[in-house]
Structures are given as C-alpha cells and as structure tokens.
Structure 1
Amino acid sequence: MKFRLLLILFIILLLAACATTPTGRSQLAFMPDSELDAMGLQAFTTMKNEKSISQNTRENQFVRCVANTITREIGGDWEVVVFEDSTLNAFALPGNKIGVHTGLVDLVDNQDQLAAVIGHEIGHVLAKHSNERMSQKLGAQMGMSIIAAVAAPTTPMGQTALGLLGVGTQYGLIMPFSRLHESEADTMGIELIAKAGFNPEESITLWQKMAQASQGEQPAEFLSTHPSHETRIEDLRALLPKANKMMQQARAAGKKPNCKK
C-alpha cells in the first residue's frame, strides 16, 4: 500500500516536472525555480567573498555594457561581476547572475566576441539546464536539501551541487553540460545576441580563438568545462543565415551596441 502510494506520488511528480525549453525540447525538471535561484545566489555570493573582483573601470564598463545589452532582450535584473582570474571563462547562474573572468576579457577582440560567450551562458540559464541536471543527478528528495550544500562548498555534496550549477573548478567538481545542452545554448545564444544587435559572425571567430588558446600554455577553462566538438563551428555557421537576419532587423530598429573594450 505504501509502495503504491509512493509510486503514484512519483508519477504525479514526473508529470508536474515535465517542461519545454525555449527551443521546443521536452525536459524533466524537478527543482522549483525559486530553489535554483537561491542556489545561484548562494554560489555567487560565495565567489564574490572568496575571489578577487576586478577594479579596472574600463574592463567593468565593457563587460557590463555587453551583458546589459543582451539581458535587456530578456528582461530581469541581472548582476554582472568581473573576476580577477586569468583563466578563459564566463558563466551565468540561475537567479540572474553573470560572472566573467579577466582572462576572457583579454582574449576577445571586440564586443561581439564577448557577447557570443555571455549569450551562450545565458542560454543555459534560460533553458534551465542546471535544473535538468539537478533533477537527473540528484533526484527530487536530495535536491530539496541541496541549498544547504551550496553554503558548504568544500563538502562532497557541496562540490556536486556547485558542479551541477556549472561553477568553476575552485568551487566544485565541474560536470560538463551535455552536447545536447551545448547545442541548445549555442542556438539560443547566437539568436539572443543577434536580436540585441551584435554581429553573430564573430561567434565563429571567438570559438576559433578559444580553440587556439586551449592548445597553448594557458589551457582554456571554458573549453575544458564545456565540451567542445569539431562540429560546433559548423553548427554555428548553419545558424548564421537566420541570425544575420535577426541582427539586420535589430539594427533597423535602432539596436546598435557600442561597447568599447
């Protein structure tokens, strides 16, 4: 009797957790958005307390200009922080948090290349990939207690939680997004930046630069934690015709980003 009741409750939970991503893909997400947002806030707060934050005015203005131009397309109040870190990395967390490492700022040539990375990361958040991974890896019951684990990032549970969120290696075990998630974030990201008026063509150059950087003495953390496949650039090229039309429409509407590095 008890087993049957649990089974019924589990089925109800499964049905309630079914959702659809912005690209139309069905996904299973157990975690309430409010809990994922709380986790993102906790993780971001921990990082701000333990990592050095850039005091470079020009650098901060550049990153915030790009990020704010993109988030204006989706709404919400987003917090953007530039961290003093030479690794090539950027991330976005549930709860509208964006972090960019100075190493990435140094790598990019212009606003469009930085927009390509930030747009991609925001795509993961909009598609609720962290929620999907939490649901798959931890299950509902364990997920309900995971916020406490984020507050203790050195514990095994804390490392797992932060890794599922996609936070850097110094704050947890990285668990790379799947190729499906990566492709979805690529699609959403390139369309998002195009709608904001950025040049989607530069996303190709950005990924080429990231791949080159990963072959040097300084490994590209972004590539090591986000699976890179040879087909990625080809996939982006296939998306360019549609994205270019979106950019043209955006610029015709007066959206012309002017973020100076």
Structure 2
Amino acid sequence: MATPAVQARITRFIIALVVAVISLIGYYSTTQYNPVTEEKQHVNMTAQQEIAMGLQAVPQMTQQYGGLYPDQQAQALVDQVGNKIVQSTAARDTPYEFEFHLLADEQTVNAFALPGGQVFITAALMKQFSTEDQLAGVLGHEIGHVVARHSAEHIAKARLTQGLTGAAVIASYDPSRPSTMRTAAVAAMIGQLVNMKYGRDDELESDRLGVRFMAESGYDPNAMIQVMEILAKSAGGARQPEFFSTHPNPQNRIAQIREAIQEYGYTLNQ
C-alpha cells in the first residue's frame, strides 16, 4: 500500500496531467484561417472581441505616453499614410477598424498596435523620419501585426504556456522539499522564453507584411531598411542578448527585409 506521501505525489501528477491535457485541447481545437497570411492560426477570440479589447485599452496607452501630440498637421500625415496603406492592401478587406494615433512622447522611440486596428507611433520616432516612405514602413509593419492577428495568437499561446507551466509546477512541487520550488521557477522561465520567441517570429512576419503593404501602396519598401537603421541607432548599442528579447536584432531584420523586397519583385537599393 502506498504511503501518504506517495499518494500525494500520484494525486498531484494526475491533476497536472488533467491540467496539461485541458490546456492542449483548448489550444489545438480552436483554429481559424487567415486569408491575408494564408495560414491556419490557433486563436480563441473573434475579430469583434479583438476590436473591443483594443478600443478599451486606447485611453490607458495614450495616457502612458503623455497623451496625443498636439500638432494636427503631423497627425493628419499619420492618418493619410496609414489609411492609404489600409485602402491599398488586403487590410481593407478585414473586419478591423484602423485608427492611427500620434503620441506626445518625445523621448521614447516606439510604435505598436493593439488588437483590432489601433495603431500608435510616438513623436520621438516620428521626428526621426526624413521621408513619408519611412513613416509608411512603420505603419505598414504595425498594420501587419493587426491583420496577422498576432495579439490573438499571443493570447492563445500564453494561455497554453500558463496551463503547461502550471501543470509542471503541480507535478514537481513537494511541500516537504523546498528545493522543488526551483524546478517550478525554471518551468516558469522556460514558459516566458517560449512566448518571447513567438514575439520575435511575429516581428519578422510583420516586417515581411510591411514590405508587401508598402509596395502595394506605392511606397518604396527600401525605406523599411532605413527604419531598421534608425531603430538600431536609437538603441545606442545597449541591447540585451537577442534570445531574451521580444524583438529581433535590427541587423537580423534587415537581412530578411532585403529578401522580402527582392521576393516581391522590387529593386533592392545597395
């Protein structure tokens, strides 16, 4: 007959197995086809839910970056370029409601997109550009995140990772052996790194979509390379190892952007 300690371990293992199976079934049983990327994606929310989530977060994100930039002429340019890209590409045929926000922050070089079509760029990054094509490169990239449904994918993957990490913690933890907490910590770290890798893959896919959208909108996709050079310069060389970063090294992105430009039949500037 098993001792109470052994019975407890068996019970924890069974619970962990159930948690892991439920997490895996929940993830792999929800797939939707994306006509823009022509891929089946594991997502567990509708486009309408993405739109609602993005709209709900707009005030908080705007406040975090000091509000909206007061220069209406600059905002109008962002709207003009962003809407031109949307109307000239497959983004036009998606259910997403695109809005473009120029943020007042003049210190933080950044651009990002919320689920459902809310796209943001800081004044600090905007001021780095010397051409409209460079602005189009950033906005095309962010529109790519939206239509590729990267946020919805990330949420689904995060839930899967949390479930599997939780199962690992349940299975490995032993109240009588505090050292097993280290195992739980390692499992949590691995889960975090897995999701970071997904983030890097998303960035590279959005780079390729950005090149495609720029070309289809009449902008020079070579400007995307210039954007990467601007971002690399703004980082000042003080980067943590790429493996621990959600964004790929700009030089690695430039190589893939060059490939995408040639793949879409455009001349690559030397």
TM range (shorter): 0.5 to 0.7
2:219 counterpart (174, 177, 198): 198
Q: Distance in 2 between matches of 1:81 and 1:201?
A: 24
For the pair 1:29 / 2:43, whether they are aligned, the reply is yes
Gaps in structure 2 of 5+ consecutive residues: 1-16, 164-194, 239-244
Deviating runs (4+, > 6 A) in structure 1?
A: 7-10
Pick aligned residue for 2:86 from 55, 71, 74: 71
Q: Taking structure 1 as reference, are residues 41 and 177 closer, same or farther at Cα in structure 2, changes over 3 Å only?
A: farther
Residue 36 of structure 1 deviates from its aligned partner by 2.1
How many residues in Structure 1 have an aligned counterpart in Structure 2? 207
Q: Distance in 2 between matches of 1:206 and 1:238?
A: 16
Once residues 123 and 102 of structure 1 are traced to their aligned partners in structure 2, the CA distance between those partners, rounded to angstroms, is 21
Q: Distance in 2 between matches of 1:22 and 1:43?
A: 25
Task: State the superposition RMSD in angstroms.
Answer: 3.4
Q: For 2:99, give the aligned amino acid.
A: E
Q: Distance in 1 between matches of 2:201 and 2:246?
A: 15
Q: Are the equivalent residues in 1 in contact too, given 2:27–2:42 (CA < 8 A)? A: no
What per-residue deviation string (whole Å, max 9, x for no partner) do you get for residues 134-186 of structure 1? 011125999xxxxxxxxxxxxxxxxxxxxxxxxxxxxxxx9685232122111
1:46 Cα deviation from its structure 2 partner: 2.3
- In structure 2, the residue corresponding to 1:189 is in which secondary structure? helix
1:12 and 1:82 map into 2 onto residues whose CA distance is 38
> Which whole-Å CA distance do the structure 1 matches of 2:198 and 2:231 have between them?
17
CA 1:39 to 1:204, structure 2 compared with 1: closer, same or farther past 3 Å? same
TM-score relative to the length of structure 2:
0.65
1:226 is aligned, of 247, 250, 254, to 247
Q: List gaps (5 residues or longer) in structure 1.
A: 143-173, 218-223, 247-261
> Which amino acid counterpart does residue 82 of structure 1 have in structure 2?
L
Residue 9 of structure 1: CA displacement?
11
How far the C-alpha of 1:124 sits from its partner, in A, is: 1.1
The answer to whether structure 1 residue 134 and structure 2 residue 155 are counterparts is: yes
Distance 1:178 1:101 in 2: 21
Distance 1:100 1:45 in 2: 15
Secondary structure at 2:105 match in 1:
coil
Distance in 2 of aligned mates of 1:108 and 1:216: 20
Deviation at 1:14, TM superposition (A): 3.0
8 Å Cα contact 2:27/2:160 also seen in 1:
no
Mapped pair 1:181 → 2:202: yes
Could you tell me which residue of structure 2 aligns to residue 162 of structure 1?
none
What is the aligned partner in structure 1 of residue 76 from structure 2? 61
Q: Which amino acid aligns with 1:129?
A: H
Amino acid at match of 2:144: G
* Local SS of the residue matching 1:108: coil
Q: State the TM-score, normalizing by the size of structure 1.
A: 0.68
Q: Among residues 214, 217, 234, which one is paired with 2:235 in the alignment?
A: 214
Matched residue, 1:103:
124
- The equivalences for 1:114-193 within 5 A come to 114-139=135-160, 178-193=199-214
Deviation at 1:13, TM superposition (A): 6.7
- Percentage of pairs with the same residue: 31
Separation of aligned partners in 2, 1:54 and 1:176: 33
- Assess, with a 3 A threshold, how the Cα gap between structure 1 residues 57 and 225 changes in structure 2: closer, same or farther: farther
The answer to whether the 8 Å contact 2:34/2:41 transfers is yes
Distance 1:16 1:108, change over 3 A: same
> Take 1:245 and 1:67, find their aligned partners in 2: how far apart are those partners?
21
Over alpha carbons, which structure has the higher Rg?
A: 2
Partner of 1:45: 59
Distance 2:211 2:224 in 1: 7
| Whole-Å separation in 2 of the counterparts to 1:92 and 1:12 | 26
